[in-house]
Chains A and B, each alone.
Chain A
């Protein structure tokens, strides 16, 4: 019996055998038009500098500041796309950064620095900054930052520090049992969510919730993962990525609940690896940037890889219509040429003879490649034949005897496809 795979908006599924969704989607646009999958634009290097991995923050005027995590260097990217080195933090490599109440704050392991938002942009070489505005108590390894209500909250080991609205630094606004280290910070309404890690060799951690008024946390949940790696920015849903196996959880209001799993990846603490672009939640894992998105409330949240970078990604940040990706010692952004898109279908059980890709359009010079894996063997490439009358791409010859068939489709240039049929 023929199998048709066309629900691209479902994103990646959980296993080859799951017939809903796709086994993998790489550099794929699945949300722009219902029922259509097309190539995403690729990521292109925008500047040779910064030539170090960075975390970043965007100011009100669109200037983006990139803080090296390898050294104290700080670069500015103007809204017009011009990069310049503006400062070197005298306290060493940068661990966190956030705009708060007219100041750009940045943290090393031991110190919190700041500069006014206006002067951060206007000084071609910073002179008005204070790299040692405040001193952390514990010199915690991670410095996630989040703003809620009237405070900038900063993780510092088993403490959370806060800079209040008058820029007073409270070193120990919140404290946890000392075995926990704050690895990521998030928000749930006006509550602070504190993601933790105990250690790389401990298989569980906790999420603490604090209403920011009580002397201690107001709820906690044990998460059976090595650590909370990153809160994923999203509207009306609180999502976080945890552990080393690609699991994604949502926050129910009092507990973390399993939501998705990215197959075949290794994940680590990286609190600056998430952003939102045009309403889509994006987060980076390794060299890939995934979206976790649904176009409206009738659809399921779909996981799909939208972009691939040249190196392991350290941070991503978006402006209005572009993303800036630091990784592999370059900053990349959305380019002007189309990426190579790869789609793997689920494994179809039964006897099949061919694969057809139904398309809407194939731009001049674009190609559709078809490979098949029969009975879970290695993929075998076929010579594609384009039928412009019936708007489908297939191949000549059969597949022999099959118990199961999986198709891998590769799109270069700009191709819009409607369905993949295994017949």
Chain B
């Protein structure tokens, strides 16, 4: 198993990356992984991150 994470909390580029934008980015990243054939085991939110567990 391998794990990737995306930030969900607001921050980063000041004033621009709201939590809403972060969530949008993280869903885009998840979709990118699926499109590239990654086998997703599970996803969940933890400590301000979207955690994506995949088969290695």
Contacts and interface: CB of A to CB of B under 8 A. Distances in A.
Interface of A: 130, 132-135, 137, 166-177, 214-216
Interface in B24-42: 25, 29, 32-33, 36, 38
Contacts of B49: 170
B4 A175 contact: no
A137 B13 contact: no
B3 A137 contact: no
A170 B3 CA distance: 9
Contacts of B2: 130, 133-134, 167, 169
A172 B4 contact: no
A315 B45 CA distance: 41
Contacts of A169: 2-5
Contact of A168 (B4, B9, B33): B4
Interface residues of B, number: 21
A216 B14 contact: yes
Given A130-B56, A137-B29, A171 B4 contact: yes
A135 B36 contact: yes
Interface of B: 2-7, 9-14, 17, 25, 29, 32-33, 36, 38, 49, 56
Given A135-B38, A171-B29, A172-B25, A216 B13 contact: yes
Contacts of A167: 2-3
Nearest to A110: B36
A137 B13 CA distance: 16
A168 B12 contact: no
Given A168-B3, A215-B12, 9 more contacts: A133-B2, A135-B4, A168-B4, A170-B4, A170-B5, A170-B6, A172-B7, A215-B11, A216-B12
A173 B29 CA distance: 13
A168 B11 contact: no
A134 to B, nearest CB: 6
A176 B33 contact: no
A174 B11 CA distance: 9
A64 B38 CA distance: 31
A84 to B, nearest CB: 26
A10 B23 CA distance: 55
Nearest to B38: A135
A175 B14 CA distance: 10
B11 A216 contact: yes
A169 B29 CA distance: 13
Nearest to A158: B13
A164 to B, nearest CB: 9
10 contacts: A133-B2, A134-B4, A135-B4, A135-B33, A169-B2, A170-B7, A171-B6, A172-B7, A173-B7, A216-B14
